[in-house]
Each structure stands twice: as C-alpha cells, then as structure tokens.
C-alpha cells in the first residue's frame, strides 16, 4: 500500500508540474470587455487620458455647461500580434464627439500586457469618416474607410481608401495609402 501512495504522490506532483509549465507558456488574451474598460490617451479630454466604462467615456466640456465630450469604442476592432511578442494585441477605433458638429475618429494600438489592455499609440483618422474595416495582421494595421474628397460635403465622404499603419516605438506611422475611385463626383 505504501508503494501505491508513493506512486500516487509522484504522479500527482508530475501532473501539477506539467500543468504549470503548459499554463506559463499560454499568453493571456485580451477580451472585448478589457478593451471596453481600458485606459487610453485622448487629446479631447482635459485630463489627456480617459478610462472607458462599458465602452463609453463622458466628461463635461465646462463645469457650468450641459455639453459633454463623449468618447465611444467603435465596433471595428481587430486582434493580432502587433509587436512580435506572440501575444494577441488589438487595434481599435475611438470616436470622439466634443458636442459640436464634428465626430472625430482615432485609430488606437493596444498592446497585450499579461491579458491587460495597455495603450501603445494612436493616430487621427479624420472628421466624420466612415470606417469600414480594421485588420491587424503581420504587425500591420490596415484600415479601410471612406474619407472626404476636396469637393465632398462634410456629411458625405465618398473616397474609399486603404491605409496601412505600423507601430514604431510609441507612434503609429502610416506606411501606405491606396485610393479607390467611387461612382460619385
């Protein structure tokens, strides 16, 4: 009976060690909920940074004003390895509405830090653009969107573009732009 207990203890210890090794090699993944409660830099906030609550941030423009700055996490989110560490990072769109006629779109790169969203960089995409797709793969972020031609009214962008970005240090840098003609003039 003593041999059985010894074998059982040895086997249990071995299994626990194998489980620990396997778990340590698995990177923690980012979740939508983590992004919805993330902290991001924002030039629109008087504080210079924001913390989303269920994907939304609100701040009074002035203490005696009813007008609010509202920043929302857009549903255009893509996951992939941005910095080459094997962990799944994220690229997302934050939409800022400071209470006037403009609605401003920023592309944000988020690094996976042990399963926590860590702001890496952002870049302004435009006012009242239409983001159709964000794709993060091979360390690059591809944004497909419709922007304004010189002759477009602000309500109605018509120029389809594909812009590619890369994270370089603490900046998102545009790598290329491809423009696609549409039927509108």
How high is the pLDDT of residue 176?
A: 80
Q: Which of 79, 98, 102, 103 is nearest to 31 (CA)?
A: 79
How high is the pLDDT of residue 181?
A: 58
CA 84 → CA 78, 87, 117, 130, 173, distances in Å? Answer: 16, 8, 16, 29, 17
How high is the pLDDT of residue 89?
A: 96
- pTM across the whole model: 0.81
- Among the residue ranges 9-18, 60-69, 162-171, the one predicted with the least confidence is 9-18
CB 48 within 8 A of CB 35: no
Of the pLDDT bands very low, low, confident and very high (cuts 50, 70, 90), residue 170 is very high
| Dihedral of the alpha carbons of 59, 61, 66, 70, in degrees to the nearest 10 | -40
Strands of the 140-147 sheet, one edge to the other: 130-137, 140-147, 159-168, 171-180
Residues 4-63 pLDDT 10s: 656 555 556 556 676 555 444 455 889 999 999 999 999 999 999 999 999 999 999 888
How high is the pLDDT of residue 19?
A: 59
Neighbouring CB atoms inside 10 A of 23's CB total 8
DSSP character string of 147-182 = E--TTS-TT---EEEEEEEEEETTEEEEEEEEEE--
Of the pLDDT bands very low, low, confident and very high (cuts 50, 70, 90), residue 1 is low
User: What is the residue extent of each domain of the chain?
Assistant: 27-180
| pLDDT at residue 168 is higher than 80 | yes
Distance of CA 19 to the CA centre of its chain: 32
How high is the pLDDT of residue 100?
A: 83
* 174: phi then psi, degrees, rounded to nearest 5: -70, 130
How high is the pLDDT of residue 67?
A: 87
Residues 96-143 pLDDT 10s: 999 888 999 999 999 999 889 999 999 999 999 999 999 999 999 999
């Amino acid at each position: 009976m003593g041999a059985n207990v010894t074998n059982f203890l040895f086997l249990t210890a071995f299994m626990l060690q194998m489980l620990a090794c396997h778990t340590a090699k698995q990177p923690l993944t980012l979740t939508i909920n983590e992004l919805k409660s993330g902290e991001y830099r924002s030039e629109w906030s008087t504080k210079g940074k924001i913390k989303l609550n269920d994907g939304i941030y609100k701040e009074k423009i002035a203490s005696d004003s009813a007008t609010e700055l509202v920043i929302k996490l857009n549903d255009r989110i893509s996951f992939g390895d941005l910095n080459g560490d094997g962990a799944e990072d994220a690229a997302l769109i934050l939409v800022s509405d400071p209470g006037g006629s403009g609605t401003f779109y920023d592309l944000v790169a988020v690094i996976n830090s042990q399963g926590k969203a860590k702001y890496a960089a952002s870049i302004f995409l435009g006012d009242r653009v239409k983001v159709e797709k964000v794709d993060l793969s091979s360390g690059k972020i591809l944004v497909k969107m419709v922007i304004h031609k010189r002759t477009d009214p602000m309500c109605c962008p018509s120029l389809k573009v594909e812009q590619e970005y890369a994270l370089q240090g603490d900046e998102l840098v545009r790598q290329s732009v491809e423009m696609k003609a549409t039927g509108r003039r």
